[in-house]
Amino acid sequence: MSCAWPETLELCCVWSGTTAHTGTFLERLDAWRERSPAAFVTLMSDLGTLAEEAAKAIADENTATLLVVMDAYAIALDALGQASGLDIVSSEHRAIAFLAKASGVTYKSSGAGGGDVGIAVSDDHDRLQQFRQRVADAGFLPLDVTPDMRGLHVKSNNQKSKDKKWISAT
């Protein structure tokens, strides 16, 4: 499915101030999956369903639904973290999420979670700017990034290896 970022939806990425090690998270998630396969399947299925709903909302240009689904996805990520013992929604992300809620914007950790970056989205420019100021005042770093309109694509990098493919959002 190909879809463009909704023109009415703005985002603000925030550096949480802590690093996350995706490889370590994935190893621990895999170990938990081995111990609790039914819970793993259920929670990952929930996340997959929400991701599909988000893609459909984007394709339908329904930002109101997208914001609701993104909020549900953040809750589902937290449920996965709680069940697996992974700190997907770290204390820093919880603090940023609190500031997002107070500003009336939607927020979720990004990537493996546990640190690094989260993303806030809103269809209200003023609310997002208020959020940006609140996170800066709280000592977090709002990042000045925008979505690449080309989206995610796969390209070969012959300088690295003829057999490797690299995923890029540039």
Gap between the Cα atoms of 45 and 68, Å rounded: 18
pLDDT at 145: 83
- The C-alpha atoms of residue 91 and residue 34 are separated, in whole angstroms, by 27
Q: Is residue 34's pLDDT more than 80? A: yes
10-168: CATH superfamily: GHMP kinase, C-terminal domain (3.30.70.890)
Average pLDDT for the chain: 86
Q: Exposed/middle/buried for 146, CB within 10 Å: 0-12, 13-18, 19+?
A: exposed
Q: What is the mean pLDDT of residues 131-141?
A: 97
CA gap 96, 107 in Å, rounded: 8
**pLDDT tens track for 69-84:** 999 999 999 999 999 9
Indicate whether 146 pLDDT > 80. no
State the pLDDT at residue 23: 86
pLDDT at res. 161: 45
Strands 141-143 and 153-156, how do they pair? Answer: unpaired
Q: Which residue has the tokens 């449920």?
A: 79
pLDDT at 155 over 80: no
For the stretch 78-135, pLDDT in tens is 999 999 999 889 999 999 999 999 999 999 998 766 778 999 999 999 999 999 999 9
In sequence order, the 6+-apart residues with CB closer than 8 A to the CB of 17 are 92, 115, 139, 140, 141
Is the pTM higher than 0.85? no
Q: How confident is the model at residue 138 (pLDDT cuts 50, 70, 90)?
A: very high
Split at pLDDT 50, 70, 90, the class of 157 is low
- Angle of helix 125-137 relative to helix 91-103, nearest 10 degrees? 140
What is the per-residue pLDDT for 6? Answer: 83
Average pLDDT of the segment spanning 19-32: 89
